[in-house]
Chains A and B, each alone.
Chain A
Amino acid sequence: MTSILQLLRSLVTLRWVTGKNAGRNAVIAVPSLFLTAAFLVPFLIVLRISLSDMDTAGSPFGGLLSYVDGIVVLKVKIANYLFIAADELYLLTYLSSLKYAAITTAICLFIGYPFAYFMARARPSIRPVLMMLVMLPFWTSFLLRVYAWKGILANHGLLNDLLIALGVVQEPLHMMNTSFSLVVGMVYAYLPFMILPLYANLVKMDMRYLEAAADLGATPLQAFWRITVPLSKSGIIAGAMLVFIPSVGEYVIPELLGGPETLMIGRVLWDEYFTNNDWAMASSVTVLVVLLILVPMAIFNKYKTEQDAEERT
């Protein structure tokens, strides 16, 4: 908030147009203004709508404060929050969103860590090619790539055909629209977000530590657990957060690949707005999701600043 106050003050005095720091202030002010208008203010409005009584107020800005007979009344409606707290379905949905996000993160780490490790230890001449091959799917539509899994996992899809042809199963396995297909889709979509920060971290590692460990008698596995893994901590945290936080609220993948039993908060939010047309409820759910992911986000930011500082030195 201080940046906004500062901004307003300099706007009033026109210091940033005429002062000696004019260029510098403009460079900071332009993105700040945009982010305030397009990011901060919308959140405040959501918070506001989640607390106001939509039934009595015609305008979304009315409702919180009212003035009657010389008395200012602050009306805060917490019914939505109470309803969410009392309704088991919301609690289950929050928990199941967290569960799928955690499973996705764990599997991405399990596949992605060795992947990034072997990429970073490959010959320097082929590293850019390996890196490019991870980035390339990024450039083709995420929506279409997720859609392709429908064809692979369907009852008469590619994977079942293959399994039947190999004689592994007799009857096609039911994989589509289950929690299995949801997790496959989520891991698939978020794996590069795990690989890239880990690779960036592992490729910078000083190999002399490993040599020293080997000289002191550590086996390669011991050296890996006691040196490589601790040194890549900030990469692991950055990758885990980049996977975990967006997957909590993921909408497209559960909608295309998930089944009726896979509860995800993103879908609930969407339905609250588009199907039930309940703004206040949708806002309350949003506020709770934001609160829920604020903690991991703070951790992410802390490590990101640390990593930036490391890079500068």
Chain B
Amino acid sequence: MNGRTFLQSWFGRGWLSLGYLFLYLPIIVLIVFSFNSSRQDMVWSGFSLRWYSELMSDTEIISGFGLSLKIAFMSATSSVILGTFAAFALTSYQRFRGRTVFSAMVSAPLVMPEVIIGLSLLLMLVSMQKVFGFPERGVLTIWLGHTLLGMAYAAVVVQSRLQEMSKSLAEAAMDLGCRAHQVFFLVTLPNITQALASAWLLTFTLSLDDVVLSAFLSGPGSTTMPLVIFSRARLGLDPRVNAIAALTILVVTIAVIAYAVMLARADRRRRKQLSAAYLED
């Protein structure tokens, strides 16, 4: 077994460390160079907060950010609702007509290139506009696209939680006289709140970050933050973009840590309640 321990000890650790370095290098670079005083790309010439203050007066970015937040909030909410419905249908009902088609349609946006989803939605919207005169491209059409993409991700997250959940809970509730909708609201929903929260956060960040769908579905006056960043990034390096990156990384890290702490606390509380319940017996 010497070979195994050798593999697991330093070769394994080395591989993991290099992998993590690869994953985190760009993030570290963005943060470090957001404090660089020079305009020259990636040449360090001293600490400065210059790009942050320039960011504060960049109206294009600020209005784009507001719009992105709004769309992300809307699409995360609708994605989670639709995704939960889809996940519930796929886990609870093993047999219904068109299940294969349904399941393929739910997961297709996960793998389908975004350029294709974007173009086909756009062509449908343009055709509709020619025939019916609506809808105008803008916030609502971006919302539609992001919901389609987010729903697929939300369905995956919720579905894996539903599969973990033991069937006996729902069956016990039925035995105790719950109707189907009562089982859902009293038993299933409280059990999957964590998954719903994760799915909401995931679809929120997906929407906040999306370039391709937004580019196809936005109209004049609905330029989201990623579209602004993308158009600047195409031209070359822009130190203000580093500052945006550092700020988003800060916010996301705080949110993720807060969420993890919250989960751990809820878990501890539940365990305490469980042990208390056993003690009473």
Contact = CB atoms under 8 A, between A and B. Distances in A.
A154 B252 contact: no
A300 interface: yes
Nearest to B179: A23
Interface stretch (B52-60, B92-100, B170-178, B269-277): B92-100
Interface string A277-304: 0010011001001100100010011001
A299 to B, nearest CB: 11
A250 B113 contact: yes
Given A137-B24, A188-B26, A30 B82 contact: yes
Contacts of B131: 59, 61
B148 A39 contact: yes
Interface string A11-30: 00000000000011001101
B163 to A, nearest CB: 6
A49 B98 contact: no
B76 to A, nearest CB: 13
B237 A3 contact: no
A contact face: mostly helix, strand, loop, or mixed: helix
B73 interface: no
Contacts of B8: 118, 121
B7 interface: yes
Contacts of B212: 251-252
B112 to A, nearest CB: 7
A133 B20 CA distance: 8
A38 B245 contact: no
Interface in B111-170: 111-117, 119-124, 126-127, 130-131, 144-145, 147-148, 151, 163
A59 B110 CA distance: 32
Interface residues of B, number: 96
Interface in A162-196: 188, 191-192
A154 B42 contact: yes
B16 A154 contact: no
B15 interface: yes
Interface stretch (A65-73, A82-90, A239-247): A239-247
A119 interface: yes
A34 B111 CA distance: 18
A209 interface: no
B35 interface: no
Interface-centre pick from A23, A141, A161 (highest chain B CB count, 10 A):
A141
A241 B111 contact: yes
Contacts of B130: 59-61
Contacts of A27: 85, 88-89, 92-93
A157 B108 contact: no
Contacts of B40: 156
A287 B145 CA distance: 19
A158 B42 contact: yes
A130 interface: yes
A46 B57 CA distance: 42
A140 B28 CA distance: 12
29 contacts: A3-B96, A3-B101, A24-B93, A24-B96, A27-B92, A31-B151, A35-B148, A45-B124, A114-B12, A121-B12, A137-B24, A139-B201, A144-B241, A148-B27, A150-B233, A151-B29, A156-B42, A188-B22, A242-B110, A242-B111, A246-B112, A248-B113, A249-B114, A252-B212, A256-B233, A266-B113, A266-B115, A279-B126, A297-B112
Interface of A: 1-4, 6, 23-24, 27-28, 30-32, 34-36, 38-43, 45-46, 49, 59-61, 111, 114-115, 118-119, 121-122, 130, 132-134, 136-152, 154, 156-158, 161, 188, 191-192, 214, 219-221, 241-242, 245-246, 248-252, 255-256, 266, 269-270, 273, 279, 282-283, 286, 289-290, 293, 297, 300-301, 304-305, 308, 311-312
Nearest first, the 4 A-B pairs at minimum CB distance are A249-B113, A3-B98, A148-B26, A42-B120
